[in-house]
Chain A
């Protein structure tokens, strides 16, 4: 079937197809920008178009494509006008493989997009590199919500839907399949493998996929820090309940992307002492009354040693404890006179990932 596109939109190129329907690029003559218009090829796809629209409308994320308009035929939805991203999808792109940092930046953005999707109560259900696009500024956005489902309706499906290689094992369990946002977490794990080498291990391509062993996963991700390996291993768990939440994956990746970029400033009597990747340790001491050592390990600031009367915000910190964003270190207990004590303020920066 063909859909009448309003004259506001002028065809630029009738190209690719999405997970379903067809996607063409049009020029929006009102705003002189390109948009992607997705239309259905047959009546049977209408339900998926409606699902896609609902999925896209219920969330706002910097890492999910935006809807601008819809096209109706009579009373029924026939097309969705979406933000057009001028760039390759992550199946074709070589950006993730170009450097370890770019790889991590991609994973970080995908995890943010998926965390936002899940927070909006939606399961994407078709997470794969083909459904993620990279623009010229290095921004990754997730698209194609044709299989998306709200979480709260007790998501289930009849028969297999999804993409082999990225579909979680529970989706193969029979005719009537119950699933949770954890299917997206699994697909994220498989995507993380694909983005390294542009291929998937044979085990994941089997129908149903057979689980990778822990040592296989650690070998694949051997260049990554162990905590990241741990979380990706969790994503690929055969048992959906063992997979982490997307928001937690995102938080962990943020921490590592910002490694060595934090700083802290200790202020004492108007003098500043900087703590950062070039100067990792500070020792604060007042005679023999008390002392505190604080160390920057690249991810945060931690109490390394504490002797005698040393306090943070008027409480006794444990060795190994993380320093809060802003605090006062006092040496000498509150029972001493004010002038017998020393106060050092501490400010810890909270850098943001800037893409």
Chain B
């Protein structure tokens, strides 16, 4: 048993706990079977009282957003003095487990696609008047495994409606929904205003967080480092640098620079300089990226300029120019796309998998 439930528990006569999935900042997440409808859902319940208070609010808020790039809210219920939110269950990993921990840096084609999809999700959320306020890799779900089929924003745990702000400020004392927790969001992805004036977080703060995440996926490092040191960096006027080694191969360099420029614009210290989510969608539409199946294999024969990857016993040719991130050597596990070629198929791009 982890959190309030063990496997087999029945919640609200409807949701049967299958297994513990993990926890977000303020909630436990379970895989549960909706026995009424015979399907699986992600069942979330807050960890403590402070979180409990805003839980229903965030359920109502997330239910307003209906888009393929946002996890669907299915149900909200109260049972045994706890609140529960049932959400579309996503088979896959979050951005952290699915990409950041797997690769040193993610090739720009995949980053462009992520950026594009997340911008769309963010746009419809903002269009519905919803500020997420806690965008971070563990709140981004990737459907599928090696090949990512879809991307969805989830966990509007501390989301709120933009127009609630004034009312709350007017009515609320120390106990109002947004003030009850001082820090809003996850540190490495927090905008300057989210640190210095948490009650001022609005649409542009989400845009900052998205930019910070995209920088991290593309380069493999957080834009402003980790821990409390990040605060100083975020509040300074330092711009996260683009590692030069990512520009070595010309086939990637153009797109890498475009994504970097877009991500840094999202992280503009002057709020007005950040693109809106709608503008982000339009910018992403101009990026040139193929969407291709991904495969896993291991390097069989790495030579000076090129080599072969073995994918289930079949050779796939690669050239060093197609490697994104660190170089590869014999036996290294790799992830790649492939295209028909003479003799053997040709891999592109190729990324080393962390062991």
Binding site for B on A (CB under 8 A): 30-33, 57, 62, 66-70, 83, 137, 263-265, 267, 269-272, 311, 313-316, 324-328, 345, 347-352, 354
**Residue pair B254, A272 in contact (C-beta under 8 Å):** yes
A326 CB contacts on chain B under 8 angstroms: 251, 290, 292, 337, 339, 348-349
In the complex, the answer to whether A347 meets B251 with C-beta atoms within 8 Å is yes
Q: Which 10 A-B pairs have CB atoms at the shortest separation, nearest pair first?
A: A315-B342, A313-B341, A325-B290, A314-B342, A349-B288, A324-B339, A31-B63, A350-B291, A345-B251, A270-B250
A66→B75 contact, CB < 8 A: no
CB closest chain-A residue, reference B128: A137
Separation of A352 and B114 alpha carbons in the complex (Å): 13
Asked if B251 and A354 sit within 8 Å, CB to CB, the answer is no
Q: Min CB distance, A177 to chain B, in Å?
A: 30
B254 touches A265 (CB 8 A): yes
Decide if the interface of chain B is mainly helix, strand, loop or mixed.
Answer: mixed
Contacts of A347 in B (CB 8 A): 109, 251, 255, 288-290
Per-position 1/0 for B100-123, Cβ under 8 A of A: 000000000100000010001000
Asked if B343 and A314 make an inter-chain contact with CB atoms under 8 angstroms apart, the answer reads: yes
Could you tell me the distance between the alpha carbons of A350 and B319 in the complex, rounded to whole angstroms? Answer: 23
Chain B: interface residue total (CB-CB under 8 A): 46
Q: Indicate whether B73 reaches chain A with its CB closer than 8 angstroms.
A: yes
Q: Give Cα A265 to B252, complex, Å.
A: 11
Give the contacts of B1-59 with A (CB-CB under 8 A): 36-39, 59
The closest CB in chain B to the CB of A269 belongs to B250
Interface contact B319-A328, CB-CB below 8 Å: yes
Evaluate whether A324 and B288 lie within 8 angstroms (CB atoms) in the complex, with A70-B36, A313-B346 already known.
no
A272 to B255, CA, bound (A): 11
Contact A314-B346, Cβ < 8 Å, known A69-B75, A327-B339, A328-B319: yes
In contact, A32 and B37 (Cβ under 8 angstroms): no
A345 (CB) vs chain B CBs: closest residue = B251
Answer whether A33 and B292 are a contact pair too, CB < 8 Å, given A267-B250, A328-B319.
no
Which A-chain residue is minimally distant from B116 (CB atoms)?
A: A352
Flag if A354 contacts B36 (CB, 8 Å).
no
Given contacts A264-B288, A325-B339, A354-B285, contact A30 B39 (CB under 8 A): no
Known interface pairs A30-B77, A313-B340, A345-B251; A265-B288 also in contact (CB < 8 Å): yes
Q: Within 8 Å CB of B39, what residues of A? A: 57
- Write out the residue numbers on chain B whose beta carbons fall within 8 Å of the beta carbon of A271: 250
Give chain B nearest CB distance to A190 CB in angstroms: 28
A31 touches B59 (CB 8 A): yes
Once the chains bind, are A270 and B253 in contact (CB under 8 Å)?
Answer: yes
Query: In the complex the two chains form, is B68's CB within 8 Å of A350's CB?
Result: no
Query: Quick one: which of B36, B251, B342 contacts A267, CB cutoff 8 A?
Result: B251
Distance in Å: Cβ of B305 to nearest Cβ of chain A: 8
Q: How far is the CA of A314 from the CA of B37 in the complex (A)?
A: 53
Choice from A31, A313, A325, A352 contacting B342 with Cβ under 8 Å: A313
B321 at the interface (CB under 8 A from A): yes
B120 near A69 (CB under 8 angstroms)?
no
- Confirm or deny: B76 has a beta carbon within 8 angstroms of a beta carbon on chain A: yes
B residues 311-350 touching A (CB-CB < 8 Å)? 317, 319, 321, 337, 339-343, 345-346, 348-349
Asked if B135 is at the interface (CB within 8 A of a chain A CB), the reply is no
User: Quick one: which of A30, A272, A316, A324 contacts B75, CB cutoff 8 A?
Assistant: A30
Return the chain A residue nearest B150 by Cβ. A62
Kindly list chain A residues whose C-beta atoms are within 8 Å of the C-beta of B337: 325-326
The answer to whether B346 touches A31, judged by C-beta atoms less than 8 angstroms apart, is no
B64 with A33: CB separation less than 8 A: yes
